[in-house]
Chains A and B, each alone.
Chain A
Amino acid sequence: MELQKFSYDNRMTRNFAIATIVWGVVGLLAGLLIALQIFIPWMNFGLEFTTFGRTRPVHTNAVIFAFVGNAIFTAVYYSLQRLLKTRMYSELLGKIHFWGWQSIIVAAAITLLAGFTTGKEYAELEWPIDIAITLVWVVFGWNMFGTILQRRTSHIYVSIWFYIATWVTVAVLHIFNSLAVPVSFLKSYTLYAGVQDALVQWWYGHNAVAFFLTTPFLGMMYYFVPKVSGRPVYSYKLSIVHFWSLIFLYIWAGPHHLLYSSLPDWLQALGTTFSVMLLAPSWGGMINGLLTLRGAWDKVRRDPVLKMFVVGITAYGMSTFEGPLLSFKTVNAISHFTDWTIGHVHIGALGWNGLLTFGMIYWLIPRLYNTKLYSTKLANVHFWIATLAIVFYAVPLYIGGITQALMWKQFTPDGFLMYPNFLETVAQLIPMYTIRAFGGFLYVAGFLILVFNVVKTIQAGSFVYEEEAQAPALEVLPDGKTSSESGHRFLERKPIRFLIVATIVILVGGIVEVIPTYLIKSNIPTITSVKPYTPLELQGRDIYVKEGCYNCHSQMIRPFRSETERYGEYSKAGESVYDHPFQFGSKRTGPDLAREGVKTGKNYKPNSWHYNHFIDPQKMNEASIMPAYPWLAKKEIDIQSTPGKIRAMKLLGVPYPDNYERQAIADLKAQADSIAKDLATAGIQTDSNREIIALIAYMQRLGIDIMNKPVKK
């Protein structure tokens, strides 16, 4: 057979690799910053742009989409060409993909710090950026499938199955979760409300973990582990079984983020059970990775790259064991809203994503630059520092999370909460947060060693733009399935058919879970006393979203005695039907706010308390770890945006009266004036057009609709 000569294009691989490293530094430093901010409230340095509520989304978006995202593209652009014995389909598409993605990241960082956010975790970016992401993702897919279709190998390797599943699922998740009604250039309201929004968001959120942090990395593992170790993949059969079961089951597991919330019981049960069933398919990946190293353990001992792979894959096994565990309601009742969850995700993020990426970079850079790694010793040092960092990071969060949850639940013998003041439970965490920040610092330090090592390696080598290769042309195989090949083997040489089957498999779970909440009324029982927000409250709610309050405060009282005693009546599905977006939150660094406005409730605070507390939380309680928000008293409410916001809400089905947008500004001013007057009686002089007034109005509205009882004056 005649060999065809061609070359692999290394430019895009190199570009993505360097972007991975650059954004890695940014994302990790942002992480270290928020690890400090969480227990040192002045660490925003008095700036609104750097408060925890805005920097935390910068950290999560930077590490997920910038650091890990670029690492995925590095792996795809390197391995795809070689696994298919062909060049990337289009240099131009590659360039658009690369520069498009980097511009999105820059736009994301700027808008998030400036407070433009949709308020949905890991999907905070506003609609113009969402559209850009969709376009760039299509370009990536186009380039990938173009490459697959011009391949010289008859079949596609398991890595590519994972790349295909990643591509299609991320596209579906991103598009459906981002659907929104724009109000202005950088403000929109999500299409979904309350419980439905929560369901769609966590269908997205959990599968961002599954299809952005997991499946592409499994693809990466299937390429780099055998490549680096020179060992064959442990089991082809296992790779088939765990691939299909993983992508089918994962998509159902989202509701486990909403256990004990106002989500219907049947959905919670699906979240629990599908998470439990995910254990074996996840471990299938771990086993296929680790057992591939059978016969190469002596190499693992010597090679820091393989060491990183081994610890990374083990971390994957640990966090995919912990995931099903946390999906049991009994465990979730303790772990949810605490730092346990943060510890859990970082085992995956720092271990699995981090170490696999580091290993790939250490192996790839010398090959791209036709040289040796500058220092294997330093890579070993990095390995040990990073591993130690994970321990220092996660262990205190496990201890802190469990401690705090138990304190929340502790009752005195005569039936009162042992720690009625939320802050008492926070004070316990400060030492843990300190140790965690040290763990984070170690991890950053290790990464800086990588940066140094990579720079030195690049300086010593010379970049190989084109890597010569040769392979026989694609042999023509029969169009239909032959009797001697298995069904799966047939699918492996029909990539478009593979894509279609994978798409169907990943759609099932989402369809079964989301559609019934629209069709079957009993899922979200209507409560007639629940009314739309007043214009001022709506503006206040937007400020709540803008400042990222949901990063630290939940609005979801779970049906536990310890929560109804602390916060009041547990949250009902019908209460959040006008909430675009939902603000249930996922972490309680501060107390729940779902019943904050209930005058007969446990947490009611007068307007003046809220005012003083926003300006200077430590004045109200010196142990508070909340940052101060003095600018809220200076900045004016964007009153002119009100009619547009009301119109958008009406479009989304919120029942404001006809032509209410004309009345809205007058109503807003009247309510604001009454709050300003009330503050004046408490000795606080403020103009009624300030943001703080709107936010106070929102605080006083929270949770009152179903608690309306006449209050005697």
Chain B
Amino acid sequence: MHTNDEDQLNKQKEVHQEVDDATQIKYFGGHEYDGIKELDNPLPPWLKYLFYVTIVISFSYLILLFVFEDEDIVQKKEYRKEMMAAKAKTDVAVSEEATKTATAAPLTEEQILAAGKVIFDKTCLVCHGKFGEGLVGPNFTDEYWIHGGKPEDLLKVINEGVIEKGMISYKSQLNKTQINNVIAYILSLQGTNPPNPKAPQGEKIVKN
């Protein structure tokens, strides 16, 4: 019985032992499904080697992580490394900047205001309005100030923030020159009468 079946399978194989005309490749005997035949091509060698290479890469990667706890794979280490490198670079840059500022010619009033406006448009307008007319934050164009209207008052607010009101500290986002420029710009807005001004808040402080 068993051998009979085997014979049948073998016979089936022989009958279908044909060759594809176009490519001269042997068909797989007995493989025909709704007219679809299959060729007896081996795996393309380059694909096989590609597979082996990806397996080797993968295992090396896993060894780097599990055995060597590599600092470019372990996330915490990677972060620490990046922060240290950044700090070293920034320290140099800041000291260079300081010497540069000390030796550079002072900016004109116009240049300061222009630089200040750039920062204002990036940072302040979200809460104080495009023209400083006030939105969630107070209006800069009237004569009223909540935390004082002198440059040093503004400096304090920008550096430390007024957290309970939503004004965050910008110490870590703006450098000293940028803060001074934006203060100059904000103070220049007084009396500009923009559309939709927010109602005055705080005390009236008249410039001397």
Binding site for B on A (CB under 8 A): 79, 82-83, 85, 153, 155, 157, 223, 226-227, 231-239, 241, 245, 260, 265-266, 268-270, 272-274, 276-277, 279-281, 283-284, 287, 291, 294-296, 324, 329, 411, 413-417, 420-421, 424, 475, 477-478, 482-485, 559-561, 564-565, 570, 599-606, 608-609, 612, 619-622, 682, 711-713
Would B41 and A235 count as touching, CB distance under 8 A?
yes
Cβ of B83: which chain A residues have Cβ within 8 Å of it?
561
Across-interface contacts of B164 in A (CB, < 8 A): 599, 606, 711, 713
Q: Does B27 sit at the interface, judged by CB under 8 A?
A: yes
**Chain B residues with CB under 8 A of A83:** 33-34, 36
Once the chains bind, are A236 and B93 in contact (CB under 8 Å)? no
B105 at the interface (CB under 8 A from A): no
Decide: A157 and B33 in contact? CB cutoff 8 A.
yes
Complex contacts, B42 vs chain A, CB 8 Å: 235, 237
A279 touches B33 (CB 8 A): no
Q: Report the bound CA distance from A111 to B50 in whole Å.
A: 46
CA distance A711 to B167 in the complex (A): 13
A355 CB → nearest B CB, Å:
21
Say yes or no: A559 contacts B76, CB within 8 Å: yes
A475 to B4, CA, bound (A): 13
Stretch of B57-65, B109-117, B147-155 lying at the A interface:
B57-65
Q: A266-B66, A414-B94, A682-B136 are in contact. Are A232 and B37 (CB under 8 A)?
A: yes
Which residue of chain A is the closest to B125 with respect to CB atoms? Answer: A621
> CB-CB < 8 A to B126: which residues of A?
421, 620-621
> In the complex the two chains form, is A485's CB within 8 Å of B44's CB?
no
CB of B31, distance to nearest CB on chain A (Å): 6
A478 to B126, CA, bound (A): 78
Indicate whether A420 sits within 8 Å of B75 (C-beta atoms), given known contacts A279-B54, A287-B44, A602-B168: no
**Cβ of B180 to closest chain A Cβ, rounded Å:** 14
Q: Least Cβ distance of A61 to chain B in Å?
A: 33
Residue of A whose beta carbon sits closest to that of B87: A415
Is B6 touching A484 in the complex (CB atoms < 8 A)? yes
- How many B residues, CB 8 Å from partner? 73
Chain B residues packing against A (C-beta within 8 Å): 2, 5-6, 8-10, 13, 20-23, 27-28, 31, 33-44, 47-48, 50-51, 54-55, 57-59, 61-62, 65-66, 73-76, 78-79, 82-83, 86-87, 89-90, 93-94, 96-97, 122-123, 125-127, 130, 135-136, 163-166, 168-169, 172-175
Q: How far apart sit A334 and B131, CA to CA, in the bound complex (Å)?
A: 35
- On chain A, the residues within 8 Å of B75 by CB distance are 260, 265, 268, 559
Question: Mind listing 11 A-B residue pairs with CB under 8 Å?
Answer: A226-B37, A233-B38, A236-B38, A238-B41, A324-B54, A484-B9, A484-B10, A561-B79, A561-B83, A604-B168, A606-B166
Taking the closest CB of chain B, its distance from the CB of A597, in whole angstroms, is 12
Which chain A residues lie closer than 8 Å to B127 at the CB level? Answer: 605, 609, 620
Interface residue from A231, A287, A296, A559 paired with B79 (Cβ < 8 Å): A559
Pair B86/A482 contact, Cβ less than 8 Å: no
B65 touches A277 (CB 8 A): no
Q: Contact: B79 with A416, CB < 8 Å? A: no
Return chain B residues, CB-CB under 8 Å to A609: 127, 136, 166
Residue of A nearest to B78 (CB): A559
Pairs of residues from A and B, 10 with the lowest C-beta to C-beta distance, nearest first: A295-B22, A606-B166, A415-B90, A273-B58, A280-B51, A235-B41, A559-B79, A232-B37, A157-B33, A236-B38
Least Cβ–Cβ distance between A148 and chain B, in angstroms: 13
Question: Who on chain A is nearest to B74 by CB?
Answer: A265
Looking across the interface, which residue of chain A has its beta carbon closest to that of B41? A235
In the assembled complex, the Cα of A603 lies from the Cα of B173 at a distance in Å of 11
The CA-CA distance from A604 to B175 in the complex, in Å, is 20
With contact pairs A236-B28, A414-B175, A602-B173 given, residues A269 and B2 touching in the complex (Cβ less than 8 Å)? no
- Contact residues in B for A604 (Cβ distance below 8 Å): 163, 166, 168
Whether A226 contacts B36 by the Cβ 8 Å rule is yes
The answer to whether A411 and B86 touch (CB under 8 A), given A227-B35, A232-B37, A421-B123, is yes
Measured CA separation A76–B20 after assembly (Å): 28
Given contacts A421-B126, A560-B82, A619-B135, contact A413 B93 (CB under 8 A): yes
Contacts of A281 in B (CB 8 A): 51
Known A-B contacts A234-B41, A294-B23, A485-B9; the reply to A227 vs B62 at CB < 8 A is: no
CB distance from A246 to the nearest CB of B (A): 11
Nearest A residue to B127 via CB reads A609
Q: How far is the CA of A570 from the CA of B76 in the complex (A)?
A: 10
Shortest beta-carbon distance from B56 to chain A in Å: 10
- Given that A280-B50, A414-B175, A416-B175 are contacting pairs, would A153 and B33 also be in contact in the complex, using a CB cutoff of 8 Å? yes
Which among A233, A268, A287, A478 is the interface contact of B2 at CB below 8 angstroms? A478
